[in-house]
Structures are given as C-alpha cells and as structure tokens.
Amino acid sequence: MGELFASQYQFAAWAKHDRPDLYWSPRHHLPGVLEKSMPAVVTVHDVVWKSLSQTMSRRGRIAEQLLMGRSLKRADQIICVSDFTRRAVQKHWPRYAEKATTIYSGADGLVADPILSDLPCLPDKFFLFVGTQEPRKNIDTLLAAYANLAAVEADVPDLVLVGCSGWGGVDARDLIRKMGPELKVTLLNEVTDAELSRLYQGALCLVLPSWLEGFGLPVAEAMHFGLPSIVSSTGALPEIAGDSALLIEPGCVESISSALALFAKDSNLRETLAENAKRRAVLFQWGDCSQRTQTLFASVISAHVSSVAP
C-alpha cells in the first residue's frame, strides 16, 4: 500500500510543488491526481497482466487493472521498450496507438571485469540463466530439460542459475534438490554487477526460456560480452536477440534440451552467434536510449507550450 500511495499521491504532490517541465514515469503508472496541465510520459515494459495473467500475483493484476489504462489515457506519449510491447499496447488500447513509440533500453551498464571478481570457482563450461524466480521465467522446464540432457549425454556443461526469490511458489533450490544431487546446477541468489559481468564473460551461452518478456534485459546485457543466447520464440525475445540466439519453444522440454546439446557440441555455432551478439549489442546502449528519450520529452514540452500560448 505504501508504494501505491507514493505513486498516486506523494509523487503528484512533489510535482505540484516542484513544477517540472514534464512528469515522466519509468513505470506505466501515472498519479491519478496529477495536474491536468502537466505534460506526462510513461514507459511501458510489458503488458504481461493482459497477455499472461496467470503468471502474475492477484494483487499485481488488480493494480494494473486499476492504473494502467487510465495512465495510458493521461499520458501525452508512451515509450515502449520493444516493438513487441508497442504492438501489445496498440492491440489492447488501440485508441492510444498513435502515442506509442519504441525506444530500446540500454544494456551497456556492466563492464568487463579484468580481475574476475570474488565469485567462488566456476566450472570451465556452463550454461547461464539470469532472472527472478517466478512462474513467468519457466525455471522448472529449464531444469527438466537440463536433467534430460544430463541423462543421455556425458560431460554436460554445468548450469548456473542467477536470481533472487520472487513469488508464486517458485523455489529453484527446492526444484534442484528434487532432481537429485547428480545434476551439476549452481544457484546464486544475489550477485554484484562485477560478479554478473564475470558470469557473462565465462558462460557458454545465456538460456532464457521465459513464457513472455517485454524486453529481456539479460539477453541484451549478454550481447555486450559477446555471449549468445537460447531464448523463447515468444514475446520480445526473438526481436531483441535477433541472429545472436537459438529459438526454443518454452513449453517443450525436448526443444530446450536439443538447443543446450547443440550449444555444448558445436563450437562453430557458438562462435558465429557470439560474433552476431557483439555486432548487435550497439542497438542497446544507454547513450542512444537517453538521447531518443530526451528528444521525445522535448517534443512533448514544445507541443504543450504551443497549446497554451496566447
């Protein structure tokens, strides 16, 4: 309730006091009591509550139902972090379609770690997953696919899972325990930026079999380290990954297992996709994101000034 109160009332009070040229919400909620005369922009990261509501908490769904539609109506412009998310906004709220613009998020904030940080000794070869432990991330299917591969192939690379506990009863540690000690799986609940950089530097590939992503930040981050990916064929992941990834069906254990096996065995494939990742990384830079966002802000402010000019 504290977060809801802040987003709906406290932020509006600050805006009324400080009189900014424009109010921007990096989340797709605007205060319902924001002054009508103040220009406003929202950023939409996904519309999971519409497309895959069963992967959200009841509280989260209710909040979105109450706030998102009216926030999009109130906004002068809507920034979407991918074309997929923009199309979703235009599908569910067609009356606001012309206000929606795609601006990719940056992913170049992490820096290659020359001293490889202080992580415990990592295996020579490992697959990497990065994401919160929640239903949408599809961790249970990934683990089942990895177990299937380990059952039929010798010397399978390890699997390293990075992500803190989320909601929905997803407990990666418990899932790993139930699958037996023979699986070479490491769970890291929290890591520093330096440690995450090391993981991106050392992995064979990133594996992100999510049911739905509005962007897929780990995929874009991995590209800046020349790390290719295995990603779902759903949501924004094919758009973001482009030709730096293999696509899998998120509900198919065999599809994920086959992709893992291919990455483990085919060094030429890994090298080709890694080169593609390095080339594609230029699409996801904070400098470009910032410049495009500032340009959009300036256009909204200019239009507002023109509309109130005598």
162-209, pLDDT tens digit by residue?
998 876 667 888 888 888 878 899 999 888 898 999 999 999 999 999
Q: Is pLDDT of 259 > 90?
A: yes
**Mean pLDDT, the chain, as a whole number?**
90
pLDDT band with cut points at 50, 70 and 90 for residue 16: confident
pLDDT band with cut points at 50, 70 and 90 for residue 33: confident
Q: Is pLDDT of 310 > 70?
A: no
Q: pLDDT tens-digit profile of 269-298?
A: 999 999 999 999 999 999 999 999 999 999
pLDDT band with cut points at 50, 70 and 90 for residue 82: very high
Q: Is pLDDT of 116 > 70?
A: no
Flag whether the pTM goes above 0.75: yes
pLDDT of residue 204: 96
pLDDT of residue 11: 83
pLDDT of residue 114: 62
pLDDT of residue 2: 55
Cα 104 to Cα 175: distance, rounded to the nearest angstrom: 34
235 or 5, greater pLDDT: 235
Q: pLDDT tens-digit profile of 38-56?
A: 999 999 999 988 887 777 7
Q: Hey, what domains does the chain have and what are their CATH numbers? A: 2-106+286-308 (3.40.50.2000), 126-283 (3.40.50.2000)
